[in-house]
A and B are shown apart, each in its own frame.
Chain A
Amino acid sequence: MVATPETIEQLRSVTDEKYKYGFVTDIEADVAPKGLNEDIVRFISAKKSEPDWLLEWRLKAYRAWLDMDSPDWAKLKIDPIDYQDAYYYSAPKIKDGPKSLDEVDPKLLETYDKLGIPLKEQEWLAGVAVDAVFDSVSVATTYKERLEQEGIIFCSISEAIQNHPELVRKYLGSVVPYTDNFFATLNSAVFTDGSFVYIPKGVRSPMELSTYFRINAQNTGQFERTLIIADEGSYVSYLEGCTAPQRDENQLHAAVVELVALDDSEIKYSTVKNWYPGDENGVGGIYNFVTKRAACRGRNSKVSWTQVETGSAITWKYPSCILQGDNSVGEFYSVAITNNCQQADTGTKMIHLGRNTRSTIISKGISAGRADNTYRGLVRIQPKAESARNYTQCDSLLIGDRCGAHTVPYIESRNPSATVEHEATTARISEDQLFYCCQRGLSEEEAVSLIVNGFCREVMQHLPMEFAVEAQKLVGISLEGSVG
């Protein structure tokens, strides 16, 4: 049986009954009841055997959150989210989940096939209860050994809290403070897992981290917390996400990603996300509110964000760079695709604090169907950012005439020696282009995919090779049904 929102609701109301009584002191339980209060925060922290300072930090966040309002400024139409109607720790497994692929939404399977995802993984992504051990687990172990040789720490944030508490304590919340914004504050109170990376001085990571993420990121849940630290002179390329849409009962996702780049280090952070968008009317889609921020703390440090986002019903996301160190560099390359009823409000913030800091923003927004796509970007040059430079280019591509694209650049320059350039274009796929491609043998969908990938090229070429190929396929798939 396919888990439609209705059946999930029904199951939830049944399972709720079981947790009505006396749970709070029972930390042996693997589940917490619905709702959010201080006891739930304590429960999560106790479950993870966290040190006191972390519990205190979570509680401060929770208390701050109570006084905050959900932001309403983004150009999004959001149904109110009932925070008491959600699970914050190990939601009960839906026992009536699909037992085999035969019971899974054929549309989802079709997408997996197009992406070339192996059967075993398909079962797993679709939430089929399988005990299979994946080959990639052993691959992961091999990777780990290799990384350990270099002194690189790459583990879940829970493990890092146990094994490297001094690093976590020093950097957690140092880029995104627990008071930062409604969703980040909520995340600080209740995050359950995520990734931790530390690259020691002078080390270049010998591989892209989290290439096997497709498997391992599965159960990190809706409040993911990622912390990456590049020590002096180090380099790391980190990949997040996967191209396969995941069945997920959690409507709300509020992740926090913090990056810290010290002197002469570089972090390349690439994301390809294909959230479940809901049906054509957006029912059942995921709300994706993510706070991603990098601190280029050291001199000559560099962070580049590359993202290809498609899918979620609502995306609200502004990966940002705080350019503190002199000569530090921030880059943001983004492709956001919205189709049907999806809404995306995304962009970046580049905050120039140090001298000679440079930032580049390339944003490509594609809208089809009745979707809305907004680029919202802030470039702020602070008084001490002598000779800072920014270049921003925002291009929108429209498919059909019922969708929208909006560009909202905010530029605040407080230093007269700074150079800030902004360019924006809006284009439509022309009938001439489509016919030209079709005359050469491409179907309309293949033609749209090719043209859109061309439009996104400047961003795609920043993705690691194997990721780029998947991302290109994803672009095509996410625009299916957008013409004709």
Chain B
Amino acid sequence: MALLEIRNLHATVDGKPILKGIDLSIGKGEVHAIMGPNGAGKSTLSYVIAGREGYEVTDGRILFDGEDLLELEPDERACAGLFLAFQYPVEIPGVTNTTFLKTALNAQRKGRGEGELDAMQFLKFVREKAKPLGIGDDMLKRAVNVGFSGGEKKRNEVLQMAVLEPKLAVLDETDSGLDIDALKIVADGVNAMRRPDNATLVITHYQRLLDHIVPDRVHVLADGRIIKSGGKELALDLEAKGYAQFGGAAAA
């Protein structure tokens, strides 16, 4: 059984149809990539999966590990093992990264009926996860995303993912705005998470991330529909020919 099973998904924002019939199946242990021009509905898809208010599903269904995802609140989806790395990470003034991570991890553990980690156990755990991402204690002590550079924000999303150890991570343009070194750090972080029983959905605009996170399947999303799917060579093809061949807007 697939980990994520999306069938004929239609969704509207402010009454405007954005997703117009999406079918997507991601199996355990797989990495899928969604590529597509600006405004295609990539972020909308990620928000619908995560259950954001205002993103209304008008038809279709989403199954997550066999469970009807659309029945769950956003926090319940998170506890069930769904993680979204935001295209635009949000600032939370006054809340340190450590506090945020600890609160989130313990909320999820509680949601799953596991015991909470105490401060010492947690600190050890988070430092282990932060080190390979080049995140030191100073960054852990700063308020969540406040005053972070673009690259720091993206690395911070990957840290959250590493700490929360989701079953399915959806990365929404985690590569945009990164230089090549930062890109490699992020990709290594994602690769380090790969397990036979979890999966990753990488949303990206550019092929270059896929040199580092090699996908099993690539899908092209344009105007709210998946118009083509293929292996990793599809990404190279897109890079060479652009999105124009699919009748969508040119890549920005």
Chain A residues at the B interface, C-beta cutoff of 8 Å: 430-433, 435-444, 446, 450-451, 453-458
A439 to B73, Cβ gap below 8 A?
A: no
What would 14 A/B residue contacts be, using CB atoms closer than 8 Å?
Answer: A435-B74, A435-B90, A437-B92, A438-B75, A438-B78, A439-B77, A440-B107, A440-B160, A441-B107, A441-B111, A442-B75, A442-B107, A444-B75, A457-B94
**B29 vs chain A, min Cβ distance (A):** 24
A441 to B78, Cβ gap below 8 A?
A: yes
Chain B residues at the A interface, C-beta cutoff of 8 Å: 50, 52-53, 73-75, 77-79, 83-84, 86, 89-95, 99-100, 103-105, 107-108, 111, 143, 160, 164
**A388 vs chain B, min Cβ distance (A):** 29
Chain B residue with Cβ nearest A447: B75
Distance A2 CA – B111 CA, assembled complex (angstroms): 34
Partner of B93, one of A431, A437, A446, A455: A455
Number of A-B contacts (CB under 8 A): 76
A451 to B92, Cβ gap below 8 A?
A: yes
A451 to B95, Cβ gap below 8 A?
A: yes
A431 to B53, Cβ gap below 8 A?
A: yes
B94 to A439, Cβ gap below 8 A?
A: no
**B27 vs chain A, min Cβ distance (A):** 23
Chain A residue with Cβ nearest B146: A454
**B191 vs chain A, min Cβ distance (A):** 22
With contacts A440-B78, A441-B164, A442-B103 known, what are 20 further pairs, Cβ within 8 A? A431-B53, A432-B90, A433-B91, A435-B52, A435-B53, A435-B90, A437-B92, A439-B75, A439-B86, A440-B100, A440-B107, A441-B107, A442-B104, A443-B107, A444-B75, A446-B103, A450-B92, A450-B100, A451-B92, A455-B94
Distance A276 CA – B95 CA, assembled complex (angstroms): 28
Q: Which residues of B contact A433 (CB under 8 A)?
A: 90-92
Chain B residue with Cβ nearest A431: B53
Q: Which residues of B contact A432 (CB under 8 A)?
A: 90
Distance A451 CA – B103 CA, assembled complex (angstroms): 11
Distance A431 CA – B55 CA, assembled complex (angstroms): 13
Chain A residue with Cβ nearest B145: A436
**B163 vs chain A, min Cβ distance (A):** 10
Q: Which residues of A contact B99 (CB under 8 A)?
A: 450
Q: Which residues of B contact A450 (CB under 8 A)?
A: 92, 95, 99-100, 103
A454 to B104, Cβ gap below 8 A?
A: no
With A439-B50, A440-B160, A441-B78 already in contact, the answer to whether A454 and B143 are too (CB < 8 A) is yes
Distance A441 CA – B114 CA, assembled complex (angstroms): 14
**A379 vs chain B, min Cβ distance (A):** 25
Chain A residue with Cβ nearest B108: A441
Distance A114 CA – B173 CA, assembled complex (angstroms): 40
**A382 vs chain B, min Cβ distance (A):** 35
Chain A residue with Cβ nearest B54: A431
Distance A453 CA – B99 CA, assembled complex (angstroms): 11
B92 to A454, Cβ gap below 8 A?
A: yes
A441 to B93, Cβ gap below 8 A?
A: no
Q: Which residues of A contact B107 (CB under 8 A)?
A: 440-443, 446
B95 to A443, Cβ gap below 8 A?
A: no
Select the residue from B75, B100, B143 with max chain A CB neighbours within 10 A: B75
With A435-B53, A435-B74, A454-B143 already in contact, the answer to whether A440 and B92 are too (CB < 8 A) is no
Q: Which residues of A contact B89 (CB under 8 A)?
A: 436
Distance A458 CA – B104 CA, assembled complex (angstroms): 22
Select the residue from B86, B94, B105 with max chain A CB neighbours within 10 A: B94
Distance A450 CA – B101 CA, assembled complex (angstroms): 11
Distance A431 CA – B52 CA, assembled complex (angstroms): 10
Q: Which residues of B contact A435 (CB under 8 A)?
A: 50, 52-53, 74, 90
A453 to B95, Cβ gap below 8 A?
A: yes
**A135 vs chain B, min Cβ distance (A):** 25
Chain A residue with Cβ nearest B101: A440
Distance A456 CA – B92 CA, assembled complex (angstroms): 12
Chain B residue with Cβ nearest A458: B94
Chain B residue with Cβ nearest A436: B90
**B97 vs chain A, min Cβ distance (A):** 11
Q: Which residues of A contact B100 (CB under 8 A)?
A: 440, 450
Chain A residue with Cβ nearest B75: A438
Q: Which residues of A contact B74 (CB under 8 A)?
A: 435, 438-439
Distance A454 CA – B100 CA, assembled complex (angstroms): 10
**A463 vs chain B, min Cβ distance (A):** 15
**A113 vs chain B, min Cβ distance (A):** 16
Q: Top 10 A-B pairs ranked by shortest CB distance? A: A454-B94, A454-B95, A440-B104, A457-B94, A441-B108, A441-B78, A436-B90, A438-B74, A441-B107, A438-B75
Chain A residue with Cβ nearest B95: A454
**A396 vs chain B, min Cβ distance (A):** 14
